[in-house]
Chains A and B, each alone.
Chain A
Amino acid sequence: MAIVFEKPKSLTDAELHYCPGCTHGIIHRLVADAIDTLGVEGRTIGVAPVGCAVMAYNYFACDMVEAAHGRAPAVATGLKRSLPENIIFTYQGDGDLASIGMAETVHAATRNENITVIFVNNAIYGMTGGQMAPTSLPGQVTQTSPYGRDVATAGYPVKISELLAALDGPEFIARVAVNNVKNVRNAKKTIEKAFRNQMEGKGFSLVEVVSSCPTNWGMTPDQALAWIDEKMIPYYPLGVYKDKSAEEATK
């Protein structure tokens, strides 16, 4: 009998700790699929963040390093500079990448560090119980914005893809979502491209994945996926924000 679907080899057998309905599991799978497809598991080193994905080091079968909060791009820089032939990726959430790690993110991008960054944007701090994130939407109710995010005092959400695309350095910046089959398929292709770019020596490739957090959004999984369409994507439009090689090819 032909096997039509199986667990990616780059994932271990460890049971994921994520909440029911959380899309981290899908994104883990897409990253592992990319590693499998490109056949690079044996030379890949991943960097786990602080946040919900902190224990990603137990789930990916490749070598893994656990970084301090926000520092994954700096740790990945050290790994890549030490082992240029290896494939280095970071897997980070919005608090990690867009708040405390903003400097590391921007500077790894502007150096065009040849690494792959998977940025999971679910507009909330999940692991610590639902606080306002740098990407929480205006008016979004969280534990630390109980009356809704007031942009007058808490400022506006950070649009990472738009911000990084304004830099000359990075190779590839794209935003995808994983709330329906079509979007998942596109996310899969985009993540694979972000890894292939690194293999081809093209440089810093970041994929922002608009994700859900039913637990801390206070929704059912279905409602959360719908909320991505209704609220998140209008604020965070999907698409390729920068593709330096493609842009240069068309010049």
Chain B
Amino acid sequence: MAEKVLMKGNEAIAEAAIRAGCRHYFGYPITPQTELAAYMAKRMPKIGGVFLQAESEVAAINMVYGVASTGKRVMTSSSSPGVSLKQEGISYIAGSDLPALIVNVQRGGPGLGGIQPSQSDYYQATKGGGHGDYHLIVLTPASVQEMADLTSLAFDLADKYRMPSMLLADGTMGQMMEPVILPEEHVNRIDKPWAVTGTQMQRKHNIINSLYLVPEELERTNFERYERYAQIEKEEVRYESYMMDDAEYCLVAFGIAARVSKNAVVALRAKGVKAGLIRPITVWPFPKAPIAEAAKHVKAFVSVELSMGQMIDDIRLAQNCEKPVVLCNRAGGMIPDPAQIIAAVEALKGGND
């Protein structure tokens, strides 16, 4: 059996990426994801890989675009303000149908914000983020183990669907230390006949591009991409359901908010309140079906977020506003405690009874 090691979340991402066959990392310093870059700086030269500290986040994501064009696994990591800078490049990567991994260890915003944990880049991550019609596959780890596991998965899904994926973590996940079983070395070798590697005078030239001046052609690429997205929404939704069978109140939370929510569910159950939790692991594709299913038997939903309420929109849409959704949140780097969540559910209960 694989060995359990104690690791920081940021380091677990880095090691998992290497084990997934990623040999190219480009970044720019920003708190709170620095351990990830430091780990890559130490490891990559020892294993024939590339660590490059770029002149900016803008340059880093375009270096990612370059490596992704050659068909190799590649990643960058940053935190909220830095991820905003990467959006141009992410849009080009999506528009050119290239696989790549972007890690966002979120901190509070807007603007320079703060350096404490946040989930306020949810809209940016799940609705595209840059210009144009596109999505990323967005995975949200809630433990150091998942920081590692979802990194592997993110590379596999990006390759499978030829699109960028994002690991949407937060400062807590990045900084916390937990035991983790690292994934086995695996390189999922998918044939990439589209990659630019030199024609070797054996084939017509490959072109990596997102420009289509003929509107009919550009429309066609958009429709084709969205057919792929529809397949992803059907096949790649991941979530955890906790005590939902008989739940009357459904908490919905991801990342650190889900861990706090789980404690709140246990405490509420002890008080005789039938609470449950749906924890999206993919926030795009969003777990719409389990939310819609829950709406059949719950009285209300509580969206627990480290933001001013962003995922709450998706919960409303997933069940066509059939049941009320209330927000239980902290922002700016603050984290809700179980007592706040319990109070939110009890307030709902008072309203209902």
Q: Which residues of A contact B (CB under 8 A)?
A: 12, 41-45, 47, 54-55, 57-58, 60-68, 71, 74-83, 86, 103-104, 106-107
Task: Say which residue of A61, A81, A103 sits within 8 Å of B24 (CB atoms).
Answer: A81
**Do A64 and B196 touch (CB < 8 A)?**
yes
Task: Say which residue of B66, B198, B206, B210 sits within 8 Å of A75 (CB atoms).
Answer: B66
Task: Say which residue of A41, A47, A71, A107 sits within 8 Å of B199 (CB atoms).
Answer: A41
**Do B208 and A64 touch (CB < 8 A)?**
yes
Task: Say which residue of B55, B70, B96 sits within 8 Å of A107 (CB atoms).
Answer: B55
Nearest CB of B to A185, in Å: 28
Nearest CB of A to B95, in Å: 10
In the complex, what residues of A have CB within 8 A of residue B140's CB?
none
* Chain A facing B: main interface SS: helix
Among the listed stretches B56-64, B117-125, B158-166, B309-317, which one makes contact with chain A, having 4 or more residues with CB under 8 Å of it?
Answer: B56-64
Asked if A66 meets B199 with Cβ closer than 8 Å, knowing A74-B62, A78-B63, A104-B59, the reply is no
Give the CA-CA distance A57 to B212 in the complex, in Å.
Answer: 12
In the complex, what residues of A have CB within 8 A of residue B67's CB?
78-79, 81-82
Nearest CB of B to A199, in Å: 13
In the complex, what residues of B have CB within 8 A of residue A86's CB?
197-198
Q: Which residue of B lies closest to A62 (CB)?
A: B205
Give the CA-CA distance A61 to B68 in the complex, in Å.
Answer: 21
B interface, size bucket: 35 or more
Indicate if B54 sits at the interface (CB-CB under 8 A): yes
Q: Which residue of B lies closest to A87 (CB)?
A: B198
For the complex of A and B, the 7 pairs showing the least CB-CB separation, nearest first, are A78-B66, A74-B62, A63-B196, A43-B198, A107-B55, A78-B63, A71-B62
**Do A42 and B62 touch (CB < 8 A)?**
no
Q: Which residue of B lies closest to A10 (CB)?
A: B205
Contact with A along B190-203 (1 / 0, CB 8 A): 00000011111110
In the complex, what residues of B have CB within 8 A of residue A63's CB?
196-199, 205-207
- B64, B70, B206: most-surrounded residue (chain A CB, <10 A): B70
Task: Say which residue of A41, A42, A78 sits within 8 Å of B69 (CB atoms).
Answer: A78
Q: Which residue of B lies closest to A48 (CB)?
A: B209
Task: Say which residue of A55, A62, A104 sits within 8 Å of B62 (CB atoms).
Answer: A104
In the complex, what residues of A have CB within 8 A of residue B208's CB?
64-66
**Do A42 and B59 touch (CB < 8 A)?**
no
Indicate if B88 sits at the interface (CB-CB under 8 A): yes
Indicate if B26 sits at the interface (CB-CB under 8 A): yes
In the complex, what residues of A have CB within 8 A of residue B52's CB?
77, 81
**Do A83 and B63 touch (CB < 8 A)?**
no
> What 8 new A-B contacts, CB under 8 Å, besides A45-B198, A63-B196, A77-B52?
A63-B198, A64-B206, A66-B207, A71-B58, A77-B63, A79-B66, A81-B52, A103-B58
Asked if A75 meets B55 with Cβ closer than 8 Å, knowing A61-B205, A66-B208, the reply is no
**Do A77 and B198 touch (CB < 8 A)?**
no
Give the CA-CA distance A60 to B209 in the complex, in Å.
Answer: 14
Indicate if B65 sits at the interface (CB-CB under 8 A): yes
Nearest CB of B to A129, in Å: 16
In the complex, what residues of A have CB within 8 A of residue B8's CB?
none
Q: Which residue of B lies closest to A9 (CB)?
A: B201
**Do A82 and B198 touch (CB < 8 A)?**
no
**Do A75 and B209 touch (CB < 8 A)?**
no
Q: Which residue of B lies closest to A107 (CB)?
A: B55
Nearest CB of A to B97, in Å: 13
Nearest CB of B to A115, in Å: 10
**Do B205 and A74 touch (CB < 8 A)?**
no
Give the CA-CA distance A43 to B58 in the complex, in Å.
Answer: 27
Give the CA-CA distance A121 to B88 in the complex, in Å.
Answer: 25
Q: Which residue of B lies closest to A79 (CB)?
A: B66
Nearest CB of A to B98, in Å: 10
Contact with A along B128-164 (1 / 0, CB 8 A): 0000000000000000000000000000000000000
Task: Say which residue of B196, B202, B207, B209 sits within 8 Å of A79 (CB atoms).
Answer: B196
Q: Which residue of A lies closest to B92 (CB)?
A: A68
Q: Which residue of B lies closest to A54 (CB)?
A: B211
In the complex, what residues of B have CB within 8 A of residue A106's CB?
55
- B60, B88, B196, B207: most-surrounded residue (chain A CB, <10 A): B196
**Do B89 and A83 touch (CB < 8 A)?**
no
Give the CA-CA distance A215 to B147 in the complex, in Å.
Answer: 55
**Do A79 and B69 touch (CB < 8 A)?**
yes
**Do B207 and A74 touch (CB < 8 A)?**
no
**Do A71 and B89 touch (CB < 8 A)?**
yes
Indicate if B291 sits at the interface (CB-CB under 8 A): no
Give the CA-CA distance A61 to B198 in the complex, in Å.
Answer: 10
**Do B197 and A78 touch (CB < 8 A)?**
no
In the complex, what residues of A have CB within 8 A of residue B206's CB?
63-64
Interface of chain B residues 69 through 96 with chain A (CB within 8 A): 69-70, 72, 74, 88-89, 92, 96
Nearest CB of B to A192, in Å: 19
